[in-house]
Structure 1
Amino acid sequence: MPRALHHLDLWVDDVATAEGEWGWLLAWCGWQREDGMLSWVHADGTYLFMEHSSDQHGEHDRLRPGINHLAMTVETRDELDRMRAESTERGWHEMYADRYPHAGGEEHVALYVENSEGFEVEVVVGD
Structure 2
Amino acid sequence: MHHVEIWVEDLATDGAAWDWLLARLGYRLGDDWGRGRAWELGSLYVVVESGPDVLAGGHTRRRPGINHLAFHAGSCTDVDAMVAEAPAHGWSLLFAEAHPHAGGPDHHAAYLESPGGFEVELVAR
TM-score under structure 2 normalisation?
0.90
* CA displacement at 1:53 relative to structure 2: 3.1
- Find out whether 1:70 has 2:69 as its counterpart: yes
1:18 maps to what in 2?
14
Query: What do the CA deviations read for 1:10-38 (whole angstroms, capped 9, x no partner)?
Result: 11100111221001111222211115451
- Find out whether 1:27 has 2:23 as its counterpart: yes
Residue identity in the other structure for 2:38? S
1:52 maps to what in 2?
50
Residue identity in the other structure for 2:3? H
Query: What do the CA deviations read for 1:68-91 (whole angstroms, capped 9, x no partner)?
Result: 110001121111111011111110
Distance 1:80 1:19, change over 3 A: same
Query: What do the CA deviations read for 1:53-106 (whole angstroms, capped 9, x no partner)?
Result: 322223211111110110001121111111011111110000111211100001
Structure 2 unaligned regions, length at least 5 = none
Structure 1 unaligned regions, length at least 5 = none
Same amino acid, percent of matched pairs: 42
1:114 maps to what in 2?
113
Q: CA RMSD in A?
A: 1.3
Residue identity in the other structure for 1:69? H
Residue identity in the other structure for 1:54? P
TM-score under structure 1 normalisation?
0.89
Aligned residues: 121
